[in-house]
Amino acid sequence: MNVLFVTDPLQQLHPEIDATIGLMAAAQHLGARVWSCGPEELSVVDGRLQVRAHRVTIRPRHRSGDHRWLVEPTWWDDQETAVRDVADAFDLVQLRIDPPVDARYLHTTYLLDVAEAAGARVVNRPSGVRAVHEKIAALQWPELCPATTVSADVRVLREFVEAHGSAVVKPVDGFAGRDVWLVRDDAATTSLLESATHAGSRHVIVQAYLPDVEHGNKRLFVLDGEVIGAVVRRPATDDFRIGPPVAAAVLDADDHRIVATVAPGLAGHGLPIAGIDVIAGRLIEVNLTCPGGMAKADALLGTDLSGTIMRRLLGTSSSSHTERLLA
């Protein structure tokens, strides 16, 4: 088996926490040959998608007792570089570029459409990533979400904050907690909203602040509509934004209701892998572009979410040999 990961440069990834590296290691453990490439190494020639791909092997990793893996300073080895027809050469292609979904990301999805039309299996499906915006998608189910408004109009946003007292503001193309602000109804509100919207030229999401976030949010790891694991993540004492996982999460009726509601829409768009964020029974985000957190959970809890995903995607049955990554 050959698996191609279309990803950011390997030297820019963080091997102690990065979910893509966890998936690579899991694929390798299952006996697959792991290949990587960046978007700039994809080309359409005579109507076929070609790639200048690099076959790599992931060096052994070890759990450290928290959410990080212990890795060597050089954590992968280059084996060979070759030009291949994507649809012919690879059993699975994983789209693993970090957001935002900018021009670089979108152009990559259109190129991968060519390979998919030729028979390649691309996960998550490029057209699905374009169709389901991970920050705005949750609003398809407003009954599941906290009060939310999306606007670039500072007046509209200010009225929302006044109505709710405090709110979380985040850009529609944000990721990894960047430019996420907690705004309160005070003298600084208008100035903060002007900055967040770039003086009314950028849309942001403003969402009622849920005090229950102090007790943590849940990241539900969803594969083919099934929750395969869940973790609790809490804010740091000096930062309201969510931090790394701290414990396994116990699913409740609200979690099951949210997943049952959202899963059919994801399946319809060819999006088997998702990370669903929940606070106090309310849907916050549906992470689809490069769903993460699995490697952190596996390191912290001793689980094998990365292996579960790769076994399912590659159609490899579980056995005692593949029940867990080597730790």
> Does residue 319 have a pLDDT over 90?
no
User: Alpha-carbon distance 179 to 172, whole Å?
Assistant: 10
Does residue 15 contact residue 312 with C-beta atoms inside 8 Å? no
Quick one: pLDDT band at residue 20, thresholds 50, 70, 90? very high
Domains 2-127 and 212-287 share a fold: no
pTM across the whole model: 0.91
User: Alpha-carbon distance 52 to 16, whole Å?
Assistant: 26
- Facing residues of 167 across strands? 183, 208
3-state class (DSSP) for residue 164 = helix
- Facing residues of 233 across strands? 217, 245
Question: 27-46 pLDDT, tens per residue?
Answer: 999 999 999 999 999 999 99
Start-to-end Cα distance in the chain: 23
Q: Give the relative orientation of helices 294-301 and 305-314 as an angle to the nearest 10 degrees.
A: 130
Quick one: pLDDT band at residue 179, thresholds 50, 70, 90? confident
pLDDT of residue 257: 97
Quick one: pLDDT band at residue 240, thresholds 50, 70, 90? confident
Ordered by start, the domain boundaries in the chain are 2-127, 147-209, 212-287
Residues 6+ apart with CB under 8 A from 297: 67, 219, 221, 229, 231, 245, 303, 305
Of the CA atoms within 13 Å of residue 41, those in its CB half-sphere come to 20
The identity of residue 81, as a single letter, is T
Question: 208-220 pLDDT, tens per residue?
Answer: 999 988 888 999 9
> Does residue 301 have a pLDDT over 70?
yes
Pairing of strands 122-123, 148-151: unpaired
User: What does the radius of gyration of the chain's CA atoms come to, in whole angstroms?
Assistant: 20
Question: 108-147 pLDDT, tens per residue?
Answer: 999 999 999 999 999 999 999 999 988 888 889 999 999 9
User: Alpha-carbon distance 293 to 204, whole Å?
Assistant: 24
Does residue 242 contact residue 177 with C-beta atoms inside 8 Å? yes
> Residue 220: which of 153, 183, 181, 266 has the closest Cα?
266
- Average of per-residue pLDDT values in the chain: 92
Fold observed for domain 147-209:
Dna Ligase; domain 1 (3.30.1490)
User: What's domain 212-287's architecture?
Assistant: 2-Layer Sandwich (3.30)
Quick one: pLDDT band at residue 175, thresholds 50, 70, 90? low
Tokens of 23: 């998936």
Quick one: pLDDT band at residue 320, thresholds 50, 70, 90? very low
User: Alpha-carbon distance 132 to 150, whole Å?
Assistant: 16
User: Alpha-carbon distance 212 to 284, whole Å?
Assistant: 13
pLDDT of residue 174: 67
Question: 99-108 pLDDT, tens per residue?
Answer: 888 999 999 9
Quick one: pLDDT band at residue 233, thresholds 50, 70, 90? very high
> Residue 21: which of 32, 34, 40, 30 has the closest Cα?
34
pLDDT of residue 172: 87
pLDDT of residue 323: 37
Say what percent of the chain tops pLDDT 70. Answer: 95
pLDDT of residue 177: 62
Q: Give the relative orientation of helices 154-164 and 189-196 as an angle to the nearest 10 degrees.
A: 130
Residue 318, by phi and psi: left (phi above 0), alpha (psi -120 to 50) or beta? beta
Q: What is the CATH number of domain 2-127?
A: 3.40.50.20
